[in-house]
Each structure stands twice: as C-alpha cells, then as structure tokens.
C-alpha cells in the first residue's frame, strides 16, 4: 500500500481525535508491562513500625475506616498499587489496650488471622462478638458490620486480608458505610453463627453460597495439620502437607469468594519441588524458619515474616529450622478458577 509515514500518522491522529484507536497500533506499555516483584517483609520491622505509630497516630483523629495497620506494598517500580499484588490487600493491624477500631462495613471480603491475641480482644461481626485468640481465623463477609476492641492490657496484632484492589481497580466498584456509633451492640449470643452450620442447619428460605461471619479456632486447624502428617494425607511435593479453610456454609473451599486461605506444614529438612502458577501467593510464617527461591533469587525467612510469590515465578521452599514450618498461605486462585484460567507448571513434569 502506497502511503507515506506522515499520511499514516495523520490517519492515526484522526482516529484518536474521534476516540478510536487501531488495534494494530503498538503502544509502549504493551512491551513494558510492569511486573510484580518477590519480596520479604521482616516481622521485627513491622512490629517496630507499629509501635512507633503509637507516638503519632490516634484513631480518634483519623478519617472514616481508619485502622492502626501497615499495608504490605510491593516494591516493583512503575506500578500504581496499594498492596502486595493486583487483587489482594494484605496489612498488619495493631489494636492497643483500650483502643476501639470503629464499626463500618464495605463491599470487600475480609479476614483476620490473629498473630498475637487473647480472650479479651473482640471483633464484633454483624452482632456477634468473636474472640481473637492467637492463631484464630475470623471472617468478615462483604457488607458485614464489624468493629474491634482490645479490653486487655497487651497489644494485639493480626493480619488483615481484603480483596480491595480487585473490587476497586478491576471492577471499579466501592461501597463503604460508617455505623451510627463507634461500636455495635451484641445482638447475637456467642456461638450464634457457628450454630447455623454443622450436622443441623436452619432451613434457608433463599439458599446462598455467601461466606458467613465465622471463627476458625487455631486448636482445630493445628489438629487437622497434625492429623494429615500422622495419616500421611494431603501431601503435595510442591507445598508439603497442604490444607484449605472451607466455607462453613458449603463445606468446600474457597473460604471467601475471591481468596483462598490455606495452611502448609513443611517438615524439618524438607525441600519442596519447584513449580509456578498464574495466581499470586502471599505467605506468613506462623512458625519455624527456612528459605524460598523465587524467580532465581533466595529469600530467607523466620517466624512472623511475610513474603510474596508473584504470578508465573518458579519457586520452592526449604526448611532450615530443626522444627517443622507452618505457613499461612493467602492466594487469589478462586478468581482464576472462576473463569477456568488457572495455570500451574512443574519443573519435574
């Protein structure tokens, strides 16, 4: 076709002026798509920064929805992102003695994995006070009212996980409301939501798969892991003994609509096989120490640390401690599963 470069440029300008663009046009961003980076966040740094926040931050002076929480940001350059990945926000929240994190609700799914808790710390979700004991997992479904109060004399720390980036950046949807007062009243007896599931359940007028407010006690989760080892069940050469929290309403995972939560037990001296997948994984080291090779770089970690494995990075884990390692695993795999898009590759395949 006989066309000069200036004529082609003029044609493209005409398209752009009329809010069109040719699919054939090559954009600089097509070849320079920023990639998320693997990273490790050290527990000691997290706690030190949260402790410093006591000198500068009062929740009473902060805006709606404020929490004493540190968001784990991905260090990759050239990205506009709040959180460790494109689909999930992970933060570490501290509630100091006597502090109230005011009641609100939003259309984000959320969970809390308690790192340091006790019987005097309460998360009120839709009217039931859920105790926040060390190792417990608490669910906050979308649009559930929730507030937190620390009635103890010790600082409390937990992991906050939400699907905020997926909802706001991918779907461009956000709904947030403050409660009419700082705290909800307790409209349900302790154990109410747990009583709705199990071998006897209410006859639902409108069946739903939505995740309910729920508390998974650490004692039960740890017992399930230990049983898997004893019975040599659920072993995965890439992940060790690998269990998933399930939605109590359905008895199946994932426990949230867009986030799967798992526990992994790696035995002392274990080295997992390398694999990769297109979903992101965020890890919290519950106990033990070791190292992970992610995309060719080795990251050492110990109890309390966090690290992220971005999509399609080869990775494996090795245990360096004399004790077994337990990892809390957060992943966005349900999003990929919903559209039959999840891919996994193994080097040993």
For 112-149, the pLDDT digits (tens) are 999 999 999 999 998 889 999 999 999 999 999 999 99
Neighbours of 337 (CB within 10 A): 15
Residue 102, in any domain of the structure = yes
- Give residues with Cβ within 8 angstroms of 296, minimum separation 6: 314
Q: In what order do the strands lie in the sheet with 118-125?
A: 128-132, 118-125, 146-150, 100-106, 176-178
Whether 204 has a pLDDT exceeding 90, the answer reads no
Q: How confident is the model at residue 348 (pLDDT cuts 50, 70, 90)?
A: confident
pLDDT at position 27:
66
Whether 30 has a pLDDT exceeding 60, the answer reads no
Residue 7, in any domain of the structure = no
- Give residues with Cβ within 8 angstroms of 4, minimum separation 6: none
Residue 18, in any domain of the structure = no
Alpha-carbon dihedral 83, 84, 88, 94, rounded to 10 degrees: -60
- Percent of the chain clearing pLDDT 90 (strictly above): 77
Residue 296, in any domain of the structure = yes
Rounded to whole angstroms, how far apart are CA atoms 29 and 9? 19
Within 13 Å of residue 338, how many CA atoms lie on the same side as its CB? Answer: 11
Q: How confident is the model at residue 80 (pLDDT cuts 50, 70, 90)?
A: confident
* Closest of 244, 245, 220, 222 to residue 234, by C-alpha: 244
In 141-209, where do the E strands start and end? 146-150, 156-162, 176-178
pLDDT at position 189:
66
Quote the pTM value.
Answer: 0.91
Residue 91, in any domain of the structure = yes
pLDDT at position 216:
96
One-character DSSP codes across 223-267 = HHHHHHHHHT-SEETTTEEEEE--BTTTTBS-SSSS-EEEEEEE-
Burial, 132: exposed, middle or buried (Cβ in 10 Å; 0-12, 13-18, 19+)? buried
- Percent of the chain clearing pLDDT 70 (strictly above): 91
Burial, 295: exposed, middle or buried (Cβ in 10 Å; 0-12, 13-18, 19+)? middle
Residue 20, in any domain of the structure = no
- CA 71, 108, 181 angle in degrees (round to 5)? 90
pLDDT at position 349:
56
Q: In terms of pLDDT, which residue wins out, 250 or 242?
A: 242
Q: Where are the alpha helices (DSSP H) in the chain?
A: 5-17, 28-31, 43-53, 164-165, 192-195, 218-231, 333-338
* Closest of 307, 328, 290, 254 to residue 38, by C-alpha: 307
Residue 216, in any domain of the structure = yes
Burial, 199: exposed, middle or buried (Cβ in 10 Å; 0-12, 13-18, 19+)? exposed
Q: Which residues of 87-98 are buried (b: 16+ CB within 10 A; e: fewer)?
A: bbbbbbbbbbee
- Output the average pLDDT for the chain: 92
Please tell me the total count of domains within the chain. 1
CA distances from 82 to 50, 76, 87, 105 (A): 18, 11, 10, 20
Whether 203 has a pLDDT exceeding 90, the answer reads no
* Closest of 110, 115, 70 to residue 91, by C-alpha: 70
Residues spanned by the domain of 74 = 34-346
Whether 31 has a pLDDT exceeding 60, the answer reads no
Mean pLDDT of 43-53: 98
pLDDT at position 180:
87
Mean pLDDT of 54-82: 90
Residue 24, in any domain of the structure = no
CATH number of domain containing 120: 2.60.120.10
Coil, helix or strand at residue 40 = strand
């Amino acid at each position: 076709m006989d066309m000069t470069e200036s004529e082609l440029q003029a044609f493209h300008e005409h398209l752009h002026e009329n809010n069109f663009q040719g699919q054939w046009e090559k954009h600089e961003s097509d070849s320079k798509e920023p990639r998320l980076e693997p990273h490790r966040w050290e527990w000691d740094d997290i706690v030190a920064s949260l402790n410093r926040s006591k000198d500068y931050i009062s929740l009473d002076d902060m805006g709606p929805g404020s929490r004493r929480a540190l968001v784990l940001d991905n260090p990759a350059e050239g990205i506009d992102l709040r959180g460790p990945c494109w689909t999930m926000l992970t933060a570490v929240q501290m509630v100091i003695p006597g502090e109230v994190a005011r009641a609100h609700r939003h259309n984000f799914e959320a969970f809390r994995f308690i790192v340091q808790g006790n019987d005097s710390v309460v998360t009120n979700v839709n009217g039931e006070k859920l105790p926040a004991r060390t190792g417990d997992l608490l669910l906050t479904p979308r649009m559930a009212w929730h507030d937190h109060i620390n009635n103890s004399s010790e600082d409390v720390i937990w992991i906050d996980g939400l699907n905020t980036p997926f909802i706001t950046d991918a779907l461009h949807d956000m709904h947030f409301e403050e409660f009419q007062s700082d705290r909800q009243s307790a409209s349900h007896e302790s154990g109410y939501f747990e009583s709705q599931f199990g071998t006897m359940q209410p006859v639902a007028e409108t069946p739903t798969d939505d995740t309910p407010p729920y508390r998974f006690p650490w004692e039960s989760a740890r017992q399930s892991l230990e049983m898997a080892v004893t019975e040599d069940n659920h072993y995965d050469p890439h992940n060790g003994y690998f269990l998933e929290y399930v939605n109590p309403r359905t008895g199946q995972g994932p426990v949230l609509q867009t986030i799967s939560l798992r526990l992994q037990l790696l035995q002392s001296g274990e080295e997992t096989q390398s694999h990769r997948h297109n979903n992101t994984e965020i890890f919290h080291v519950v106990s033990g120490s070791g190292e992970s090779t992610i995309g060719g770089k080795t990251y050492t970690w110990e109890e309390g640390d966090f690290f992220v494995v971005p999509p399609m990075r080869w990775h494996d884990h090795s245990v360096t401690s004399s004790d077994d390692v337990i990892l809390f695993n957060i992943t966005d795999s349900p999003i990929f599963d919903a559209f039959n898009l999840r891919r996994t590759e193994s080097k040993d395949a």
